[in-house]
Structure 1
Amino acid sequence: MKRITIEEAQNEMVPFLQNIQSVLLSTVDADAEPFVSYSPYVEDEEGNFYVFISTAVKHSHNINATRKAHIMFLEDESVTEHIYARRRMYFKAKAEAFDENDEREEKIHNLFKERFGEKVSFFSMMKDSRFYKLTPSEGNFVLGFGGAFKISDDRKTLSLNDQGHSKSHAEGLKKGQK
């Protein structure tokens, strides 16, 4: 199995996100009870992600209680080469709910319209739903076995993520050994 170089992984980052339309969103409540679901998402020019969810769902309550989330973008299993090596990108995220009539709503709604077209025409009817801003940090990009990379906070560079690997394995990866 060929090892993926940092340069190859870097070239995969933007197309990977462009091909994924939804984000897995994991939050915890005030008692640390986890909850996971998904939502379509958009990304702004600064690299923040946005979702549109009901204020009645558990994520909304969890975000309001903790201001945190964990997000993951996951390759569709129907196209993966190996079920245990699905390509994925994940981040810790600072989570923020928009207040009702937030001045940023129009801009984010337009990003959703550009990406999803008429599928988001129902937004204006969903009075109990809000946009949530997810500011990512501490990211990782996994492109299969032996292809795990840390993402810089500005998302411009990658470095080898050797957490969880033995020292000799990590050294071999750094040297490009197969």
Structure 2
Amino acid sequence: MPDQDPKVLQQQVQDFRAGFQSVLIATTSLEGEPDISYAPFVLDDSGRVCIYISQLARHTRNLLEQPRASLMFIAGEQDSRNLFARQRLILQCTARRVPEAEAEPVLQQMQARFGKTLELLRSLPDFLLFRLDVENGSFIKGFGQGWSLEGNGLQILALRTN
């Protein structure tokens, strides 16, 4: 099938991710307690997911203690013909807090996207900016249609067989 060409698939994955303004985030505490949340995001110039989150939130504390996260972008139920085969992108990432000296360009990008809410959040002392580097992941288009990928550019590696 023509849509199995790695370059075409890579563009489909990037386009799918670009259709979202927020991402589901799974983290784990030092005690091994799982947590799932979400955050609005932007992509930086290197294709890394950037989130601006409160230190009051469990997922922020988890990322500060254990900088690993799983991100999921998933098609809405109303947009899916079969709920057992929803299109989704799952990414295993390493999170890094962005130093204040490097944060301004990303925060300006977020403010352009999210408006006055971000302006308000920037005035609060508990918000931190994180970049999430993609190590690997998977893109599932439906039954029997899954691919492994790696890196921030979401490079397609192979058809998933498991």
TM normalised by structure 2 equals 0.88
CA contact (8 A) 1:24 1:38 kept: yes
Matched, 1:121 2:119: yes
Task: Kindly state the Cα deviation for residue 154 of structure 1 after the two structures are TM-superposed.
Answer: 5.1
Distance 2:112 2:54 in 1: 21
Query: What corresponds to 1:168 in structure 2?
Result: none
Query: What corresponds to 2:78 in structure 1?
Result: 78
| SS of aligned partner of 1:127 | coil
Structure with the largest fraction of strand: 2
Gaps of 5+ in 2: none
CA contact (8 A) 2:133 2:152 kept: no
Query: What corresponds to 1:34 in structure 2?
Result: 34
Letter of the 1:65 partner, please give it: E
Aligned residues: 161
Task: Kindly state the Cα deviation for residue 156 of structure 1 after the two structures are TM-superposed.
Answer: 5.5
| SS of aligned partner of 1:103 | helix
Alpha carbons of structure 1 residues 156 and 37: separation in structure 2 relative to 1, 3 Å: closer
Query: What corresponds to 2:105 in structure 1?
Result: 107
Q: Deviations over 1:47-75 (max 9, x none)?
A: 11111111111111111111111111111
Letter of the 1:60 partner, please give it: T
Identical pairs, percent? 24
Letter of the 1:57 partner, please give it: A
Task: Kindly state the Cα deviation for residue 112 of structure 1 after the two structures are TM-superposed.
Answer: 0.8
Distance 1:59 1:156 in 2: 24
Query: What corresponds to 2:64 in structure 1?
Result: 64
CA contact (8 A) 2:147 2:159 kept: yes
| SS of aligned partner of 1:31 | coil
Superposition map of 1:81-160 within 5 A: 81-99=81-99, 102-153=100-151, 155=153, 157-160=155-158
Aligned residues: CA RMSD:
2.0
Gaps of 5+ in 1: 165-178
